[in-house]
Structure 1
Amino acid sequence: MSLEEEFEKNWKSATEEQNKIDDITDRKIWTGIEKKIERRKSVKKIYWIAAALIPFFALLIIFKNTFQTSGRGAERILVYETMEKGKLFQLPDGSTVDLKPYSTLTLDRSFGEKDRKMVFVGQGKFSVAKDKARPFRINAGEFNVQVLGTQFFLDQKSTEKKVELFEGKVKIEHGKTITYLLPKEIWINDNGKQDYHFYHPDKQRSFTFDHAAYSEAIEQLERTYNISISYPVQFKNKKVSGAFTGNLNEVLSVISYPFNLKPEKTSEKEIILK
């Protein structure tokens, strides 16, 4: 074999070998690239999954915090509430409240430890356990009621706000006006009137009339007991004299006796003399 032929053979052999090497190298290179691509795809998948889950976890944290806060808030208060029917409740201090329909009484769980404060909406009859060191205080919206130990009816719901005392003593604060009630006394307030303090018809009172017109005597009784009294107009200017003590029915009967008039109660707020 000539030198040229040997050189040509070696060249071809080297070229084929080099081609084999290049194929192996190419495969290695592409395998590496494919692995990198796969890794990047995996990273992207993890990123998008994480991105999708972040709002969920954020919402979960917010919900958890809100729930815990609400729970802590709920633990701090006691709520007594009625719907269609009234219900009698006993409070932690031994007091009882007969809540009328659609009424709510809210107090702190520490009620009775240092004070006896509450917020009231609606209508209810209270029987308060006596405790001079811790007065019973009711926030009734536009006015406040303070008692030591008593029985009373509270109407915060109606247009005409009302406190009617049966036993004990009550202090009412409405703006700058303070009113004290004794048994069988009533306080009312509505949008058209100032605070008005009057007496239950069974409350005994003393009245003195000195040749007063019958109409004037009737008007005084109406103001004292917050009641409407009707009578025949011909007796309007008749005279009434004397000192009288008794409840509404007793005094009205005595001053009307000379005119042969007798009281007839037609409703809680109206009497007719016949």
Structure 2
Amino acid sequence: MMEQEQRLIKKYLAGNCTKEEQKAAMKILRRPEPSLLDEVAEEVWNELSTDEEPTIDSEALYKSIEDELGIGNPKTKTSSSLPWLYAACISFLAISAFFFFQQQSINNTPVQELIVKSMPAGQKSTIILSDGSKIILNSGSKISYPKTFTDTTRTITLEGEAFFDVVKDKTRPFSVIANGLRTTALGTSFNINARGSICRVALATGKVIINNQNDTSKDLNTPHILAPGEALEVDSSSKTKRKFTFDPQSELLWKDGVLYFKNTSLEDITKRLELWYDVEFDFKGKTGLQKKYTGRFENASLKHVLDNISYAMNFEYFIQGKKITIINQP
């Protein structure tokens, strides 16, 4: 019986009683003895207490509540008002303790250490994360990630291009945010290229789900699930997207130090070479920029690459430090 009354009083103080329960609680609160309320107060306090308890001046607390309720005057103070004083104290203690411990929790929450890795043009890097997942970061790219992942998530932010080989963990999905796209996987390998307004996700193994966080339109915001060999490309500028089967050589060989071009224009080739070798191209005349070239180079020098491409595409080039001038032949 006592336990039922305690539960009812706590429910009443929380404001969750029905009309019938309120009447029953009122009868209990009208009793002159405060023992039940004492027990409820102690139980509430024990539930809220931790290793570090706030210091509360109980006499000042009771006095302030008496004044607030208008029962501090001895002439007006009666035994019937005592339960209400106890009830008010319980509520006050619970609320005060809640906010105290909430603030302590906020103040004592450790700040996660964020690691930022940037790769300048001409360099690549392999990064092993705390969970064992591996990232190969391409030239001119940047990632940020927590030094230690939480118990529920593994989230990476990417600018540029990277290949991810993710360790499987069903309890902690692995997410990469790039150009507003969130690519999520449990354990898989995939490539993301996010440069300019275009973000392309190419899946090598496993499965991923992709959500567009930047666009609320139904068309672009529809989640996409990729199977191995499939890629999704989203252009945030033109608000377009396309899903297609990709060529593993053109998408993934960069991580093994292989430059591969397949029907690639000279303009696009030079953009790749600028990042790959940390150089800058200048064109004397704009003709021939859309000529196409197919070729493969493995750990080759810039001169070797340019010698082969210039012969096939009929142009001359001059190297001055990091600046390369291309002269197209008629």
Q: TM-score, normalised by structure 2?
A: 0.38
**Rg larger in 1 or in 2?**
1
Q: TM-score, normalised by structure 1?
A: 0.45
